[in-house]
């Protein structure tokens, strides 16, 4: 996805009037079917990236493509187009913002590593307890000082934490530093399950300062990963044609 669009200040400002979804692509069969209803490439298969704007009832607005560049000439045009669309829809005044969670801890760590972000795992003994904790964490996660700095996941199965070093709590909120390839992580700090939104915000701010993103050269990163034998297994087959249409990567 073209960072020259998504990191543009005007686009970021316009995005505040949208629900922005970071797609998991090959990690959900259900999501993949929805994505294919909006866009498939020349191969006729689901490709690794997709960009589209949708109405509140999930209807596609205009064209879709592999990136914003397939729809807009430049970032300025994208920001203007998004503002034009947003003006047609009035947001709910009493709506609460949910915590933007990934499917599981494994995927959250991988995405965090890809994006150069820290990962936040919410630990709870069951779904009911998780829901209560998510309400508090969401209030902190959407603060201006926090939004966009973490990838989140909720964990109710302790087995998911086997890839994370330094976990001492059975419930609460953990800030995790993913390793270079996002296949493991280590705890940066832990917060209690009963932490208030204000306490969680302070903890997340501290975690964002402790987190040290690693700059990566894509080519060298891939070569080293192959040398180390790191092979990410997707939930469904990777059907992206890859560079030059040489088959799945």
CATH number of the domain at 143, please.
Answer: 3.40.30.10
- Residue pLDDT, tens place only, 21-40: 988 889 999 999 999 999 99
Mean pLDDT of 107-115: 94
The long-range contacts involving 154-157, CB below 8 angstroms and separated by at least 24 positions, are: 154/99, 154/101, 154/121, 154/122, 154/124, 154/130, 155/104, 155/105, 155/121, 155/122, 155/123, 155/124, 156/123, 156/124, 156/125, 156/126, 156/127, 156/130
**Domain membership flag for residue 231:** no
Q: What is the mean pLDDT of residues 145-166?
A: 96
pLDDT at 92 over 80: no
119 and 74, same structural domain?
no
- The count of structural domains within the chain is 2
Give the whole-number percent of the chain exceeding pLDDT 70.
Answer: 95
User: Do 61 and 125 reside in the same domain of the chain?
Assistant: no
Find the mean pLDDT for residues 125-144: 95
Q: What is the mean pLDDT of residues 92-112?
A: 89
Residue 131 token pair: 């829901």
Domain range enclosing 46: 3-86
Same domain, 58 and 140: no
pLDDT (tens digit per residue) in 159-185 = 999 999 999 999 999 999 999 999 999
In a domain, 67, yes or no: yes
Please indicate, yes or no, if residue 16 is contained in any of the structural domains.
yes
Predicted confidence at residue 248, as pLDDT, reads 40
Whether residue 54 is found in the same domain as residue 123: no
Is residue 23 domain-resident?
A: yes
The answer to whether position 185 is within a domain reads yes
Report pLDDT digits (tens) over 212-243: 988 888 899 989 999 999 988 899 999 988 75
pLDDT in tens, 187-209: 999 999 999 999 999 999 999 99
In-domain check, residue 237: no
Are 8 and 43 members of one domain?
A: yes
186/120 same-domain check: yes
- 220 assigned to some structural domain: no
Across the range 100-124, mean pLDDT stands at 96
Domain final residue pick, 86, 121, 143:
86
């Amino acid at each position: 996805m073209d960072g020259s669009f998504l990191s543009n200040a005007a686009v970021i400002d316009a995005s505040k009037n949208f629900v922005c979804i970071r797609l998991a692509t090959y990690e959900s069969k259900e999501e993949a079917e929805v994505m294919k209803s909006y866009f498939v490439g020349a191969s006729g298969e689901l490709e690794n990236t997709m960009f589209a704007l949708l109405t509140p009832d999930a209807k596609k607005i205009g064209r879709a493509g592999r990136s914003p560049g397939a729809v807009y000439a430049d970032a300025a045009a994208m920001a203007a187009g998004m503002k034009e669309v947003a003006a047609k829809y009035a947001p709910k005044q009493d709506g609460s913002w949910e915590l933007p969670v990934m499917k599981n801890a494994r995927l959250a760590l991988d995405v965090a590593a890809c994006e150069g972000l820290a990962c936040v795992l919410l630990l709870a003994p069951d779904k009911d307890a998780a829901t209560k904790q998510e309400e508090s964490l969401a209030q902190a996660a959407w603060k201006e000082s926090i939004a966009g700095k973490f990838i989140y996941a909720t964990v109710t199965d302790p087995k998911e934490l086997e890839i994370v070093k330094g976990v001492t709590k059975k419930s609460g909120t953990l800030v995790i530093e993913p390793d270079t390839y996002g296949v493991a992580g280590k705890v940066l700090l832990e917060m209690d399950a009963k932490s208030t939104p204000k306490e969680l915000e302070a903890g997340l701010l501290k975690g964002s300062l402790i987190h040290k993103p690693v700059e990566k050269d894509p080519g060298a990163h891939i070569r080293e990963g192959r040398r180390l034998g790191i092979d990410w297994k997707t939930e469904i087959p990777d059907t992206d044609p890859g560079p030059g249409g040489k088959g799945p990567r």
